[in-house]
Amino acid sequence: MALIIQKYGGSSVGTLDRLRHVAKKIKQTRDQGHDVVVVVSAMYGETDRLIQLAHALTAEPDPREYDVLVSTGEQVAVSLLAMALITSQCPARSYTGHQAGILTDKNHTKARILDVETDVIQYDLSKGEVVVVAGFQGRNERGDITTLGRGGSDTTAVALAIALKADECQIYTDVDGVYTTDPHLIQDACLLQKISFEEMLELASLGAKVLQMRSVELASKYNMPIRVLSTFRDGPGTLVTHEDKTMRNRLISGIAFSREEAIIALSGVPKQIGIEGRILGDISNAHIEIDMIAQNATSKDTADFTFTVSRKDYPKTLKLIDNIAKELGASTNSSAKVAKLSMVGIGMRSHAGVASKMFKCLGDAGISIQMITTSEIKISVIIDEVFIEKGVQILHQAFDLDKVSSVSMSNIE
Amino acid sequence: MALIIQKYGGSSVGTLDRLRHVAKKIKQTRDQGHDVVVVVSAMYGETDRLIQLAHALTAEPDPREYDVLVSTGEQVAVSLLAMALITSQCPARSYTGHQAGILTDKNHTKARILDVETDVIQYDLSKGEVVVVAGFQGRNERGDITTLGRGGSDTTAVALAIALKADECQIYTDVDGVYTTDPHLIQDACLLQKISFEEMLELASLGAKVLQMRSVELASKYNMPIRVLSTFRDGPGTLVTHEDKTMRNRLISGIAFSREEAIIALSGVPKQIGIEGRILGDISNAHIEIDMIAQNATSKDTADFTFTVSRKDYPKTLKLIDNIAKELGASTNSSAKVAKLSMVGIGMRSHAGVASKMFKCLGDAGISIQMITTSEIKISVIIDEVFIEKGVQILHQAFDLDKVSSVSMSNIE
């Protein structure tokens, strides 16, 4: 008998039929003899409806009241799920984040969990009840309702798993788990049996929407394994856990990509201390987020400075940069038709030559690289967007990602 | 400077425009230097939407979970109202019943308020904030969310007024106050300046929907004056308070009526101990509510037994009664085309002859009385429904109810 935390997202409980299906899955787990704590998001569309209501009323909703409002979305979902469970002879009790003892800091709309009081939940579990907790919300020191920001339900689930010393934290979603790359693009994409916290964090930061970043950080810090599973199809899913030999033996674990990029290069920038801050200052002030940054010294007196932004911010950014370039006597070169391709894997740490193999593969295919950045377990390149599918395909094959599943099967420690 | 409790019902906050209007009224009260605690119901239609959701999911929703679900309706309303107040530069904080310290018994869906913890509210008031509390809900000893049943927001307002020792409890609704009779039927109907708790209770039990009965009981017990006012039109409203000389000098305060009645008479019922219970037992078991009951001994051996039920229950009741009549050898006489006409007033206690004057007026107008019941401050008669308008008109005039307003104006103690 184990203690299992299960989290179901908004699309998993998007209709009453889906709610009933989720109740059935929970009951099955309990019937197998496990203790179950369930974390639920608001039904699909509900949070947006509430946010629209607030914005129809006032341009700037008070953050404290905004949290009181949007937290009702999960409250509706937990009560309905508990009703569905009770109706199918599975004893259950629902709790708001406030009631469940999810204690947060006071930052409304983006609070962080500080602690979890588990008395109430543990009492119910001891009575054999399924505990259904509203995700995404908690209470601050003053007893006010707080919310954790979008995707916060994953974090609620992980925090509860840690506080309750659960055996596993299962995140149910609408995909089967974590793939080596997007299976919509590459047919040979493989479901990963396991992936390390660190790799998952890199993938999440690259836009993989499988898990919310903060939840992975938290799981990693307390070494709480997360299993990503599909609500709608049975399967083993992907276990996100501490790194092991299998993962280290794998050169890379996944290839991520994003088409919505734009690149801007400034060349002939005079070398001055603080010049980078000067260039990016205006852009940050305009609330434009900069993604990749690279700088090269091209001569004794000048440097090249290249960065990327989201494609939607491109026109605005270009206008700002043109002004700066004029002032600095630099020239600009830019394109909004580029894409980012990233390889992630803890294997890179111990295996030399991953980067050079990647560049060679792309070069052999006639794909020119416009920009490169790296971290310890990630290499990202910017290429022309027309080459993205070809690039992913070549690298997926070259790094044996189409054979990952069987490899990791035989190599589990 | 006074402490004022204001309660706004679902139709008063039914749209965002109405919410803004309510916020403006609250701000005006605060700008006059008063401390204000506001109690709000769910936006019109919202509670029904939530109940339908529960019933679409399961035939018998668990009562505890039902309360978690429907309590979100008020939570949405309080947060939006607080946002509207803050946007118009009026500091405000919203609270659920749980947070506001509304302690109830454990009877889900129809809980009674046991106590109110006022610390949080008093702290906010001391800081000059408007406190907005979700009506209709509280928490039980275990910390579970409870609801008070339909109309419970009035009771929340009165309970808060008592606990906070407020100067006045204002109930804002969609009528101007309490009238001598229905102004839709009788043009000369007058707005009452004052009415006693006892009279208001009788009127509420007769179906006047201005105030929820339990709230009047509570206000009466703790002598907390309630003022009924319109959200949409300015005016003095009606003060529901302890009785005074003005009220005692008035023969009657109001005439209530209901068209939805049906009368069933059994004659020749053999005199036996417990025979009344026998007759009504089957009807109660069928969950049919009996309203008026009268019994007369017509001979040494038999009695007549007459009662009324709601018209919608008439066919079902008649079928049950026909069976009983056969068994008892009694005959039945019934009609579904009757109406109830009631006069209420504490003046009846000290003034003899109110009943006889009433019967004489009706008789002079050719209206025959089919049944009579009385309480200390109320007389109800059943008449043919075609005479209801005429009956109310005659009595309204005969008892000077069209002059009530000016009388009470000059006679305030």
- Can you give the pLDDT at residue A298? 74
Position B238 confidence tier, pLDDT thresholds 50, 70, 90: very high
Tell me how far apart the terminal alpha carbons of chain A are, to the nearest angstrom. Answer: 23
Could A72 and B69 be called an inter-chain contact, meaning their C-beta atoms sit closer than 8 Å?
A: no
Burial of A319 per CB tally in 10 Å (0-12, 13-18, 19+):
exposed
What is residue A406's predicted lDDT score, i.e. its pLDDT? Answer: 43
* Residue A179 domain flag: no
**Does any domain span residue A240?**
no
Residue A193 domain-assigned (yes or no): no
Nearest to A74 by CA among A104, A101, A44: A44
Check residue B410 and give its pLDDT.
33
Q: What chain A residue is nearest to B134 in terms of C-alpha separation? A: A68
More reliable by pLDDT, A386 or A347: A386
Kindly state the tokens that stand for A210.
């499988």
Backbone angles phi, psi at A48, to 5 degrees: -60, -40
Q: Between B69, B79, B96, which is nearest A79 by CB?
A: B69
Residues A277 and A170 placed together within one structural domain of the fold: no
Looking at A174, A205, A220, the residue that finishes a domain is A174
Alpha-carbon Rg for chain B, nearest whole angstrom, is: 24
For the entire predicted model, the pTM comes to: 0.87
Examine the pLDDT at B350 and tell me if it is beyond 80. Answer: no
B80 and A65 in contact by Cβ < 8 A?
Answer: yes
3-state helix, strand, coil in chain A (%, to 5): 40, 30, 30
- Whether A78 contacts chain B with CB within 8 A: yes
Chain B contact set for A123 (CB, 8 A): none
Q: Are residues A292 and A391 in the same domain?
A: yes
Which CATH number characterizes residue B265's domain?
Answer: 3.30.2130.10
What pLDDT shows up at residue A282?
A: 87
B18 touches chain A (CB under 8 A): no
A interface mutation test: which of B38, B40, B68, B147 has the most A CBs within 10 A?
Answer: B68
| B28 contacts: CB under 8 Å, gap ≥ 6 | none
Is residue A17 domain-shared with residue A127, that is, in the same domain? yes
Size of interface A-B (CB pairs under 8 A): 108
Does A76 touch chain B if contact means CB atoms closer than 8 Å? yes
Q: What percentage of chain A carries pLDDT values higher than 70?
A: 98
Cite the beta strand spans of B41-127 per DSSP E.
92-95, 102-104, 113-116
Beta-carbon count within 10 A of A210 CB: 21
pLDDT at B413 over 60: no
Please tell me which of the candidates A57, A60, A99 has its beta carbon nearest to residue B84: A57
B387 pLDDT above the threshold of 50: yes
Report yes or no on B271 lying in a domain: yes
Place of tokens 């007033």: B345
* Residue A230 included in any domain: no
Question: Distance from first CA to last CA of chain B, Å, rounded?
Answer: 23
Looking up tokens 């399961």 gives: B58
- A329 in helix, strand or coil? coil
Q: What is the pLDDT of residues B295-304, one digit of tens each?
A: 887 778 888 8
Count of C-beta atoms within a 10 Å radius of residue A17: 9
Which two three-digit tokens encode residue A194?
A: 């396991």
C-alpha to C-alpha distances, B200 to B239, B242, B339, nearest whole angstrom = 10, 11, 21
Q: Round to whole Å and give the CA distance between B339 and B337.
A: 7
Alpha-carbon distance of A391 to A379, in angstroms, equals 14
| pLDDT tens profile A70-102 | 999 999 999 999 999 999 999 999 999 999 999
Asked if A298 reaches chain B (Cβ–Cβ under 8 Å), the answer is no
Domain span at residue A85 reads 3-174
DSSP string, A221-281: HTT--EEEEESSS-S--EEEES--HHHHHSS-SEEEEEEEEEEEEEEEEE--TTHHHHHHH
Indicate whether A170 and A267 sit together in one domain.
Answer: no
Q: Can you tell me the distance from the alpha carbon of B224 to that of B203, in angstroms, rounded to the nearest whole number?
A: 18
Q: Does B299 share its domain with B397? A: yes
In this prediction, residue A196 carries a pLDDT of 95
Region of residue B43 (left: phi > 0; alpha: psi -120 to 50; beta: else): beta
Asked if pLDDT for residue B406 goes beyond 70, the answer is no
Residues A169 and A314 in one domain: no
pLDDT digits (tens, 9 = 90+) for B165-218: 999 999 999 899 999 999 989 999 999 999 999 999 999 888 777 898 899 999
Distance from B66 to chain A by nearest Cα, in Å? 7
Q: Do B22 and B161 share a domain, yes or no?
A: yes
Chain B residue with the nearest C-alpha to that of A72:
B72
Cβ B79–A60 below 8 Å, yes or no?
no
Question: Do the beta carbons of residue B109 and residue B67 sit within 8 Å?
Answer: yes
* Mean pLDDT rounded to a whole number for chain B: 92
Residue of A nearest to B80 (CA): A54
Residues of A in Cβ contact (< 8 Å) with B72: 72, 75-76
Q: How far apart are CA A332 and CA A69, in angstroms?
A: 47
pLDDT in tens, A277-320: 888 888 888 889 899 998 887 778 888 889 999 999 999 999 99
B98–A57 C-beta distance less than 8 A: no
Q: Please indicate, yes or no, whether residues B161 and B307 belong to a single structural domain of this protein.
A: no
pLDDT in tens, A95-149: 999 999 999 999 999 999 999 999 999 999 999 999 999 999 999 999 999 999 7
Whether residue A259 sits in one domain with residue A142: no
Measured between CB atoms, does B93 come within 8 Å of chain A? yes
> What is d(CA B258, CA B78) in angstroms, rounded to the nearest whole number?
35
Q: Which of A19, A65, A120 sits opposite B82 (nearest CB)?
A: A65
For residue B138 the two structure tokens come to 């509280």
Last residue of a domain, one of B174, B198, B214: B174
> Is the pLDDT confidence value at A413 over 60?
no
* Element containing residue B394 per DSSP (H, E): helix B388-398
Of the candidates A174, A192, A217, which is a domain's last residue? A174
Asked whether residue B195 is domain-assigned, the answer is no
Of B292, B213, B199, B214, the closest CA to residue B254 belongs to: B199
Interface contact flag, B80 A64, Cβ < 8 Å: no
Integer Cα distance of A56 and B326 in angstroms: 65
Per-residue pLDDT reduced to its tens digit, A11-40: 999 999 999 999 999 999 999 999 999 999
Structure tokens at B209: 């929907």
- Name the phi and psi angles at B127, rounded to 5: -90, 5
Least CB-CB distance to B62: which of A62, A86, A120?
A: A86
| A237 in Cβ contact with A227 (< 8 Å) | yes
Query: B76 and A69: CB-CB below 8 Å?
Result: yes
pLDDT, one tens digit per residue, over B130-166 is 999 999 999 999 999 999 987 799 999 999 999 999 9
Q: Considering all CA atoms of chain B, what is the largest pairwise distance in Å, rounded to the nearest integer?
A: 77
Same domain, A277 and A142: no
User: Are residues A57 and B19, on separate chains, in Cβ contact within 8 Å?
Assistant: yes
Residues A170 and A259 in one domain: no
Q: What is the CATH number of the domain that holds B47?
A: 3.40.1160.10
- Chain B residues whose CB is inside 8 A of the A16 CB are 53, 56-57
Q: What is the pLDDT of residue B87?
A: 97
Nearest to A180 by CA among A216, A213, A210: A210
* Domain-located, residue B90: yes
pLDDT of residue B194: 94
**Residue-level pLDDT at A411:** 34
Angle between helices B72-87 and B46-57 (to 10 degrees): 150
Closest CA to A42 of A139, A152, A116, A117: A152
- A51 touches B: beta carbon within 8 Å: no
Predicted confidence band of residue A405 (pLDDT cuts 50, 70, 90)? low
Give dist(CA B235, CA B233) in Å, integer.
6
CB contact under 8 A, A75 and B64: no
Residue B75 banded pLDDT, cuts 50, 70, 90: very high
**Which residues of chain A neighbour B79 with C-beta distances below 8 Å?**
54, 65-66, 68-69
What pLDDT, on the 0 to 100 scale, is given for residue B167?
A: 95
Domain assignment present for residue A205? The answer is no
- What is the count of structural domains for chain B? 2
